[in-house]
Copies of this chain bind each other. A is one copy, B any other.
């Protein structure tokens, strides 16, 4: 009946041999086996060998769950990501996973799909399963009041995103500065009317990026025009969705700073489909610098955020807190780099064309 992948020494109904089985086989007590497991130097070399041999003969596997119950740390970290279909967050997840492996932790993963209810479920589930800490990139619309009690007593690092009112450690890029430089770049290329596209006001990340955008406008003494700000979902579809409004504007923008790259790419594709040549007619800069940004046509300029490094740093911070037992919130900001590619446009032409269009 119960075949599995042909088992060898499995004994007992559970099919898993225990420290006692090993002790029996090696002719020692279970304490001795325990000492061998923890690499103690108290145990005689000959004994150690007998024990080790017995273990491999039985196919013994250490039961961390039992050890944890007794008091050991669990070695499990939870990783809750809002959207794994965004390549940026995949990069982050890879960074998290890598850092966990280095630290001998093992990550639970959950994709909340921007769904706060689901996020609540998975966080609870992770706690039940004994996660020692959490790396969290919260879903849009998360209720802090509901989430907070589930997090009590456990170290949490919010990575990339952060929730106002949730005091945890944070690892995030320097959003404001990045957005400021990108906007300044578009302005310097001659774009007087720069739109801001994507995300929702409730998102802290967007507030930061938006602040950078505003700052650059101020520095260039360009009046802020609220009608050039577009809220959308932070995915390809969101970027594409704004194109009709963007083009039908009474005084159209000639460039856009996008909330992130997937929005920017959605925008570029839709603009292309509408006959607007991005790079000459219209300037676009995204945020994140995902791999695909190099391969769009035209190639997408972007504020580069090293997602993998972000994930790695988050885990390192978490592990440090786990090791020290000090969960005092700490914030790490990572610098960004503006990567200029063809999508910016030189924009003298863009302005001209746009004026022609608006005069129609």
Contacts and interface: CB of A to CB of B under 8 A. Distances in A.
A329 B3 contact: yes
Contact of A167 (B6, B106, B297): B6
A141 interface: no
A229 interface: no
Contacts of A125: 104, 106
B111 A94 contact: yes
A130 B65 contact: yes
A153 interface: yes
Contacts of A325: 1-2
Given A3-B329, A106-B122, A65 B156 contact: no
Interface residues of A, number: 73
A82 interface: no
Contacts of A297: 297
Contacts of A75: 129
Interface string A67-79: 0110100111001
Contacts of A74: 65
A7 interface: yes
Copies of this protein chain in the complex: 2
A152 B69 contact: no
Given A84-B94, A85-B94, A130-B65, A167 B118 contact: no
A108 interface: yes
Nearest to A269: B295
A101 B118 contact: yes
Interface of A: 1-8, 10, 14-16, 59, 61-66, 68-69, 71, 74-76, 79, 84-85, 87, 90, 93-94, 97-98, 101, 104, 106-111, 118, 121-122, 124-130, 148-149, 151-156, 166-168, 269, 292, 295-297, 325-329
16 contacts: A1-B325, A3-B328, A4-B152, A5-B152, A6-B148, A8-B149, A15-B153, A59-B152, A61-B128, A65-B68, A84-B94, A87-B87, A97-B111, A104-B125, A106-B108, A297-B297
Q: Which 8 A-B pairs have the closest CB atoms?
A: A7-B152, A109-B109, A5-B151, A7-B153, A15-B153, A65-B65, A4-B327, A4-B153
Given A4-B155, A5-B151, 5 more contacts: A4-B151, A85-B90, A106-B122, A107-B108, A109-B109
